[in-house]
Amino acid sequence: MDKMKVTYEAMLALTAEMVLDEAVLKFQTKQLHHAIDKALADGDEDTFYRLVKQLNELKQ
């Protein structure tokens, strides 16, 4: 019984970590999209390319 409880708790912790990681990824992606849009609107080419690079690295 104790081994099952430990396994269950480990799986629960892993699931929680995966959900948190996905939420952080979505948040960071959304923030980068907004910043890219602003850089485009401002005509800031250097910032645009830097942010696009960050977004591509995040997606890998």
- DSSP class per residue in the chain: -HHHHHHHHHHHHHHHHHHHHHHHHHHHHHHHHHHHHHHHHHT-HHHHHHHHHHHHHHH-
Query: Does 37 map to a domain?
Result: yes
Query: How many CB atoms sit inside 10 A of residue 56's CB?
Result: 10
Query: Does 41 map to a domain?
Result: yes
- Say if residue 12's pLDDT is above 80: yes
Query: Does 43 map to a domain?
Result: yes
Range of the domain at 37: 24-60
Query: Does 4 map to a domain?
Result: no
- Say if residue 1's pLDDT is above 80: no
Average pLDDT over residues 7-15: 95
Query: Does 50 map to a domain?
Result: yes
CA max distance for the chain: 63
Query: Does 9 map to a domain?
Result: no
How many domains does the chain fold into?
1
Query: Does 6 map to a domain?
Result: no
Query: Does 8 map to a domain?
Result: no
